[in-house]
Amino acid sequence: MKVLVTGGAGYIGSHTTLELLEAGHEVVCIDNLSNSKVESIKRVEKITGKNVCFYEGDIRDKGILTKIFTEHKIDSVINFAGYKAVGESCQKPLEYYENNIQGLLVLVMTMREFGVKNLVFSSSATVYGNPKSVPITEDFPLSTSNPYGSTKLFIEYMLKDLYKSDNSFNIAILRYFNPIGAHPSGLIGEDPKGIPNNLCPYITQVAVGKRKELGVFGNDYNTHDGTGVRDYIHVVDLSKGHVLAVNKLAENPGLIIVNLGTGVGYSVLDMVKAFEKVTGKPIPYKIMPRRPGDIDECYADPKLAKEVLGFKAEKTLEDMCRDAMNWQTKNPNGYED
């Protein structure tokens, strides 16, 4: 199949592009490079020995989308393009609504115009807000506490309404938990700009001496050691979940909403220990105040993804830490090198 991957140069997009190529699909990418480098795509081509048809452009630009759908017979679209930093979304809510929601609208309206009706959308466990219990099943109540989360929730509503109005669409809404790690080659990985917002890239930068110590945001949560618990999933497993979703959409399943997680939660201190084990060195850290908006525990019930997509995360926590370190060590400045 020919798959259009928006945001394909980004962290999850580049790994998914790779897995799509390995599974025998053709990939067309569009990315405006606002949070990525085209080098990631070059490396995907190097690893797979296959070509990616790359367009530098913005999904809010109907002109370039029209050009792509005219030049290629696209079977399915995976939409990764969007902004994703929770903290930044509170500073720049309008930019987040404009990029994420307007981008999705222009994309889906152009798809409809060209009769392309298979879409995979990157949602997030953030749509569960502060869950009443764990593990989280897909029927839990949805809520949002920041503009980034609101964009995901609003888009979910929009896609559900679209499906109700036209059930010839096939839509997979994938709610990711916490993607980490990198491709085992160490050639592609997460390349955050400036100080990482997320735990794992921060730890890997501490591990290689780029940052002095990790700040642990709170040790008074209601968890086994007081630090926040999350469901970390290897980005390669997550990417394979997208290949399964694309294959599933070809069977005309209608609307699918599933969690992509492992079903296992680890605390911040569990993660510190896991990285220490992989690197053989201590990870210095200090306990800091809680980060506003953080919750105690968040992990998936992964059963529905197994039933609907045949998805099961295979990689271990050790794989995640080792592959994240391999990427960080080989690319101390990300794709700048």
CA-nearest of 10, 70, 62, 64 to 36 is 10
Q: In angstroms, rounded to a whole number, what is the distance separating the alpha carbons of residues 241 and 245?
A: 6
Which segment (56-64, 263-271, 317-325, 328-336) binds ligand NAD by CB under 6 A? 56-64
Spatial strand order of the sheet with 266-267 comes to 266-267, 229-230, 297-298
For the CB of residue 9, give the shortest distance to ligand NAD in the complex, in Å. 4
Note whether 257 binds ligand WQD by CB under 6 A.
Answer: no
For the CB of residue 176, give the shortest distance to ligand WQD in the complex, in Å. 7
> Out of ligand WQD, ligand NAD, none, which partner does residue 268 contact, by CB within 5 to 8 A per kind?
ligand WQD
Give the CA count within 13 Å in the CB-facing half-sphere of 10.
22
Question: For residues 98 and 287, which CB has a smaller minimum distance to ligand NAD in the complex?
Answer: 98
Q: Active site includes 148?
A: yes
Q: Which of 202, 275, 299, 327 binds ligand WQD (CB under 6 A)?
A: 202
Angle made by CA atoms 262, 263, 269, in degrees to the nearest 5: 85
Q: In a 10 Å sphere around its CB, with 0-12 CB exposed, 13-18 middle and 19+ buried, how is residue 192 labelled?
A: middle
Q: Which of 29, 39, 78, 82 binds ligand NAD (CB under 6 A)?
A: 82
> Out of ligand WQD, ligand NAD, none, which partner does residue 162 contact, by CB within 5 to 8 A per kind?
none
Note whether 36 binds ligand NAD by CB under 6 A.
Answer: yes
Whether omega before 179 lies within 30 degrees of 0, making that bond cis, reads no
Note whether 11 binds ligand NAD by CB under 6 A.
Answer: yes
Binding mask 283-322 toward ligand WQD (x if CB under 6 A, else -) reads: --------x--x----------------------------
For the CB of residue 287, give the shortest distance to ligand WQD in the complex, in Å. 9
Q: Which of 52, 59, 229, 321 binds ligand NAD (CB under 6 A)?
A: 59
Question: For residues 284 and 324, which CB has a smaller minimum distance to ligand NAD in the complex?
Answer: 324
Cβ atoms of 199 and 211 closer than 8 Å = no
Give the CA count within 13 Å in the CB-facing half-sphere of 134.
22
Q: Which helix (H) or strand (E) holds 27?
A: strand 26-31
For the CB of residue 179, give the shortest distance to ligand WQD in the complex, in Å. 7
For the CB of residue 234, give the shortest distance to ligand WQD in the complex, in Å. 14
Q: In angstroms, rounded to a whole number, what is the distance separating the alpha carbons of residues 228 and 218?
A: 8
For the CB of residue 110, give the shortest distance to ligand NAD in the complex, in Å. 13
Output the residue with the shortest Cβ distance to ligand NAD.
10
Question: For residues 175 and 248, which CB has a smaller minimum distance to ligand NAD in the complex?
Answer: 175
Which segment (21-29, 77-85, 247-255, 293-301) binds ligand NAD by CB under 6 A? 77-85
Report how far apart, in Å, the C-alpha atoms of 55 and of each of 68, 225, 313 are: 8, 47, 31
Angle made by CA atoms 65, 80, 145, in degrees to the nearest 5: 125
- DSSP for 255-284 reads EEEEEES-S--EEHHHHHHHHHHHHSS---
Binding mask 145-184 toward ligand WQD (x if CB under 6 A, else -) reads: ---------------------------------x------
Q: Name the residue type at position 113.
A: E
Cβ atoms of 222 and 215 closer than 8 Å = no
- Strand-pairing partners, residue 256, are 172
List, by residue number, the catalytic residues: 148
Chain positions contacting ligand NAD, by CB under 6 A: 6-7, 9-13, 30-36, 58-60, 80-82, 84, 99, 103, 122, 124, 176, 178-179
